[in-house]
């Protein structure tokens, strides 16, 4: 883990925290190591977190973290985020995407541009007014740059009256540093 990664995660948490009512509904599109799921569940003690991953190891690790914190307001879903609408219909207060591969897992299993964009489109349409989405995109692995372009292309097409969208990169770090996007539905 490098500094760019840590600060990207911290910024995403700051941005998302403001969109989480204690009884809200949030989506962790990539459970991974479970940190975002725990963050969302802690902020919404009376709410529900839907946490997706295609790897059983990721969900198992997330479950351990949740049990450690005594959190039971999470639905762990072993399915691709592109199928989100099979599991919830919205509306949602927030969604988080931390893309790429699981650092301690199989680095050849990464999120894929097509699935990411389908999931992002579905969850964007489920977003409440005032709801927020964060994405962290990693470009250092094969396919990572394609994913960055796909995400940026999708987001750049969102109606600017309804959605406020920004992108952030670490200007003085190598091009492989993570790139973040922040979305808020404003009307």
Write out the two tokens for 44. 């919404």
Q: Among 49, 53, 72, which residue's Cα sits nearest to residue 61?
A: 53
> Which residue number, 126 or 129, has a Cβ lying nearer to ligand SAH?
126
Helix, strand and coil in the chain, % to nearest 5: 35, 25, 35
Among 7, 11, 21, 55, binds ligand SAH (CB under 6 A): 55
Q: Could you tell me which stretch among 65-73, 79-87, 127-135, 157-165 binds ligand SAH (CB under 6 A)? A: 79-87
Q: Residue 134 — φ and ψ, nearest 5°? A: -120, 145
Q: Rule CB under 6 A: is residue 80 a binding residue for ligand SAH?
A: yes
Q: Which of 111, 124, 134, 139 binds ligand SAH (CB under 6 A)?
A: 111
Torsion of CA 62, 65, 66, 70, to 10 degrees: 170
Q: Which of 15, 50, 101, 182 binds ligand SAH (CB under 6 A)?
A: 101
| Listed residue (40, 50, 34) closest to 16, CA to CA | 40
Task: Say how many residues touch ligand SAH, by CB under 6 A.
Answer: 20
- Catalog residues that contact ligand SAH under the rule CB under 6 A: 5, 30, 32, 52-55, 58, 80-82, 98, 100-103, 109, 111, 115, 138
């Amino acid at each position: 883990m490098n500094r760019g990664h840590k600060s990207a995660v911290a910024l995403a948490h700051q941005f998302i925290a403001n969109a989480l009512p204690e009884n809200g509904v949030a989506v962790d599109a990539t459970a991974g190591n479970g940190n975002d799921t725990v963050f969302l569940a802690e902020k919404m003690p009376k709410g529900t977190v839907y946490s997706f991953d295609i790897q059983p190891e990721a969900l198992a690790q997330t479950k351990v973290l949740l049990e450690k914190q005594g959190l039971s307001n999470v639905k762990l879903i072993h399915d691709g985020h592109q199928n989100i609408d099979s599991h919830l219909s919205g509306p949602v207060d927030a969604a988080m995407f931390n893309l790429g591969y699981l650092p301690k897992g199989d680095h050849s299993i990464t999120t894929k541009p097509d699935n990411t964009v389908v999931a992002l489109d579905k969850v964007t349409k489920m977003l409440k007014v005032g709801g927020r989405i964060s994405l962290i995109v990693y470009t250092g692995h094969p396919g990572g740059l394609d994913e960055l372009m796909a995400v940026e292309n999708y987001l750049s097409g969102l109606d600017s009256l309804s959605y406020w969208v920004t992108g952030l990169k670490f200007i003085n770090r190598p091009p492989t540093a993570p790139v973040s996007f922040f979305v808020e539905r404003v009307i």
